[in-house]
Structure 1
Amino acid sequence: MKTVKKVAILGGARIPFARQNTQYQDAGNVEMLTAVLDGVADRFGLRGEVLGEVAGGAVLKHSRDANISREATMASSLAPQTPAYDVQQACATSLETAIAVANKIALGQIESGIAGGVDSASDAPLAFSERLRKLILRFNRAKTRKARLQALLELRPAMLAPSVPNVNERRTGLSMGEHCELMVKDWKITREEQDVLALASHRNGVAAYERGFYDDLVVPFRGLSRDNNLRADSSLEKLGRLKPAFDRHSGLGTLTAGNSTPLTDGAAATLLSSEAWAQAHGIEPLAYFIDAESAAVDFYGPDAEGLLMAPAYAVPRLLARNGLSLQDFDYYEIHEAFAGQVLCTLAAWEDERFCREKLGLDAALGGIDRAKLNVNGGSVGLGHPFAATGARILAAAAKQLAEHRAKTGKRGRTLISMCAAGGLGVVAIVEG
């Protein structure tokens, strides 16, 4: 039997995240992912090097982009002999790619790999309407001129309207924000609580840039050197003046543009390897990828739960397998799809009834120290290109642990938690 190897996190690169239809409105997914692969290659001296693999992906993807990761790898300075493939798991995409790469390294199948993701909300794919698509297919299948003419005669102007992509859930027809409104009402999360967390997301992100935390993680791209959604002048007063974004009519809506993630363009990548590969390349690991867990909830059936509550189930299973409590962490990186979604998850872990009845535990998991949460900014402040956020979080978490070790002389531990569309959740433990 093969020995399981330790998986080192060596660092990462990302381009600044940009709000939809701003600096990157003309940049495509392949161009952005290529930029971060080159950022990793330049930082670690990997130009022309064959890596074990590149795993990436995108949520908003053109039909021509069957394998964005391979196209970006070929366009990058990495050796073209490096295998590459795409993964898609909504907002958890690049955490899932990291799990795939890490597992192969742990099993000795590869020695190194880059996990990443990219998304452009500005360059979203457009499609034919369903009626026009079927008509075109019937026209192409037609064997005679008469059959083709008959198909053309059925063409109507209304069919020419394009089908614009969205991220609404197919089973409910609701957007993620509408689902989160239901969650915060169920868990009685207030507007003020959400705005407080959103403000911390901006302030922590701004402070991280000011102290140089992102200097070696962010690669300037198309004239942008920092995330353009960050607001140094944000305040509770300004956030409090924003109107509800998803429940505009009941008078009870609490999710706003200020406490939700904006539609965002960007890409991120993280380099992982075995210890032997890192040593051979003269690279000191920042941290180690320890374990991961996934979960899913039924958000549609008779016992429907909140769409974004799956991490509440994944985390306790991960903790149990590793003999840890929720409080055994120095840092918590919880993806902020919405400030309210983070608060619902935290409330669930503190709720004894939920933990007993839903999680099968003897008691509540308990609370966390909020000062340890998203200490270098979260998705509300930094932005959220769907498939890129996992790699953004992983590289930043590893660097934060390296700084913690240098400052305290002690190793630290970070819990990563990500919700995703479809009622999914992916979580991981990083130590360094």
Structure 2
Amino acid sequence: MTSKTIRPAYVAGAARIPFVKSGTKYRNVKTYDLMSASLSHLVRQYKLQGKILGDVALGAVMNSSIEWTIAREVVLGSELHPYTPAYFTQRACGTSLDASLQLALKIGAGQIETGIAGGFDTNSDLPILFPRSFAKKILNLRDAKGFGGKLGSALSFGPNDWKPQFPRVEEARTGLSMGEHCELMVKEWKISREAQDEIAFLSHQNAAKAYDEGFFKDLVFEFQGVTADGIVRKDTSMEKLAKLKPAFDKSAAGTLTAGNSSPLTDGSSTALFCSEQGLKDLNVEPWARFVDAQVAAVDFVHGDGLLMAPTKAVAQMLARNGLTLQDFDYYEIHEAFAGQVLCTLKAWESDEYCKKHLGLSKAMGSIDRSKLNVKGSSVATGHPFAATGTRIVGSLAKMLKGTRGKRGLISVCTAGGMGTVAILESV
């Protein structure tokens, strides 16, 4: 079954809370409340109260096992009809884009008519763990019989058992953080510090301009007294960015800084999906068609760049749809790091890379940089891991709304050497 034979799926709305730097404005907000805010606002904004939707797919990266039913709980806490099912999903930074793909496929297959995709993450309400030794001993204590048994189990605890373990953005198979991996990539591709700072500068400028023009007015709503993404810096400059010290490789060779990397961020986002019948049932208008999507992976343990999988995913998706890299009016390339964006672009321009890694006969070519992240991206807006996908889906769909013959490409790199990409087009 291909994108040409399945039923069309449409993005018909989106809503999200403002994204803020972790440990600031949402410091005391629970994970559940963070996601519930975006879903509930979407429900009210599009008059979905009492409606039974086909499915709701929500996901996060930093989520506690105690909240294993959080997606369903968020739905039950909203004004959607309680008959609306929900499930939790996760593909690192591509989580909510992958959720979008899943719902689009369900619509395409005729399984559902309507659905909501979304994602959330917070580094302010982290699930803090204790060592496995603690877990084993606490279970022994629970199961011990009599006072003597329980006392013996209690006395078995040592200082190291009480040492908390914090989640880290780190690859288990290499021990390197995502930033450290990206430093390796920019060195391999010879990406300069200045080029990375320029991507970051434009991201802030584009996001600030979009806010000034009112683009986000019906996408981003006030939450906890915050009305706009708290990371956007309208007054930043190349000079200010150049003064920042390297954040990962702290030697003179390091080029990734806090200024050209996405910060740890708290936030949530949602997008509404419908079939043609679903549009009628909910009395909503389509913003854009969700045409196709693709996931791919690379072997980053043995030499591939950790964040290069979108190059493969895009190549596969374009071949299936008979498109070239130049057949787009908008390019939404997630800025985990400005350097990652530049590595991706340079790879597509390389004959050697495209032949060796993508199985193509020649390079995919260059893109028009004026079409890249025109409303800003993750360096400026922030990156609450699982919320980024539907942030981009919502923004791109709105850009395409009311246009004719326009098309947008979404590219999201993820931890684990994976990538999730998608095509949206005007209706």
What is the TM-score of this pair, normalised by structure 1?
0.96
Moved over 6 A (4+): none
Shift of 1:63: 2.3
- 1:242: Cα distance to partner? 0.2
Match of 2:161 in 1: 159
Which residue does 1:92 correspond to in 2? 94
User: SS state of the match for residue 277, structure 1?
Assistant: helix
> What letter is aligned with 2:307?
L
Aligned-partner SS, 2:204: helix
**Distance between the aligned counterparts of 2:62 and 2:377, measured in 1?**
21
Partner AA of 1:422 in structure 2: G
Match of 2:240 among 233, 238, 241: 238
**Hey, what's the Cα distance between the residues in 2 that align with 1:332 and 1:294?**
17
Q: How far did 1:139 drift?
A: 2.5
Cα deviation code 1:86-138 (max 9, x no counterpart): 00111000001001111111111010000000111111111112321222123
Alignment check: 8 A CA contact 1:8 1:272 kept: yes
Does residue 1:247 correspond to 2:249, yes or no?
yes
Look up the match of 1:258: 259
Aligned to 2:413: 419
Distance across 2 between alignment mates of 1:349 and 1:277:
38
Q: Which residue of 2 aligns with 1:297?
A: 298
Cα distance in 2 between the residues matched to 1:63 and 1:358: 37
Query: Helix, strand or coil: the match of 1:313?
Result: helix
CA contact (8 A) 2:207 2:232 kept: yes
Contact between 1:57 and 1:117, CA under 8 Å: does it hold in 2?
yes
8 Å contact 2:345–2:366 — kept in the other structure?
Answer: yes
* Structure 1: tracts of 5 or more residues without a match: none
Q: Aligned letter for 1:156?
A: G
1:340-351 equivalences under 5 Å are 340-351=339-350
TM-score (norm 2): 0.97
Q: Which residue of 1 aligns with 2:220?
A: 218
Instruction: Please give the alpha-carbon distance, in whole angstroms, between the structure 2 residues aligned to 1:110 and 1:176.
Output: 37
Q: Deviations over 1:220-265 (max 9, x none)?
A: 10000000000010100000000000011x3200000000001000
Give the conservation status (yes or no) of the 8 Å contact 1:299–1:423: yes
Bigger Cα displacement from structure 2, 359-368 vs 34-43: 34-43
Indicate conservation of the 8 Å contact 1:309/1:423, yes or no.
Answer: yes
Shift, 1:144, TM fit: 5.7
- Alpha-carbon distance in structure 2 between the residues aligned to 1:89 and 1:280: 31
Q: Which amino acid aligns with 2:324?
A: S
Number of the residue aligned with 1:126: 128
2:317 — aligned with what? 318
Q: Could you tell me how far apart the structure 1 residues matched to 2:163 and 2:359 are?
A: 50
Q: Deviations over 1:329-384 (max 9, x none)?
A: 00000000000001001110001100111111111000100110111110000000
Question: For residue 187 of structure 1, what is the aligned residue in structure 2?
Answer: 189
3-state SS of paired residue (1:294): strand
Paired position in structure 2 for 1:365: 364
Identity of aligned residues (%): 53
> Partner letter of residue 84 of structure 2?
T
SS of the residue 1:300 aligns to: helix
CA distance in 1, matches of 2:22, 2:93: 16
Per the alignment, residue 66 of structure 2 pairs with 64
Find the aligned partners of 2:69 and 2:26 in 1 and give their Cα distance: 21
C-alpha contact 1:417 1:425 (8 A) present in aligned 2: yes
SS, match of residue 422 in structure 1: helix
1:157 Cα deviation from its structure 2 partner: 2.3
AA partner of residue 399 (structure 2): Q
Aligned residues of 2:48 and 2:282 also touching (Cα < 8 A): no
How do 1:3-42 residues align onto structure 2 when only pairs under 5 Å count? 4-42=6-44
Distance 1:59 1:292 in 2: 21
Aligned length: 424
**Per-residue deviation, 1:146:** 4.4
Moved more, 59-68 or 225-234: 59-68
Alpha-carbon distance between aligned partners in 2 of 1:417 and 1:423, rounded to the nearest angstrom:
14
Tell me which residue corresponds to 1:429.
Answer: 423
Q: How many angstroms does 1:192 deviate by?
A: 0.3
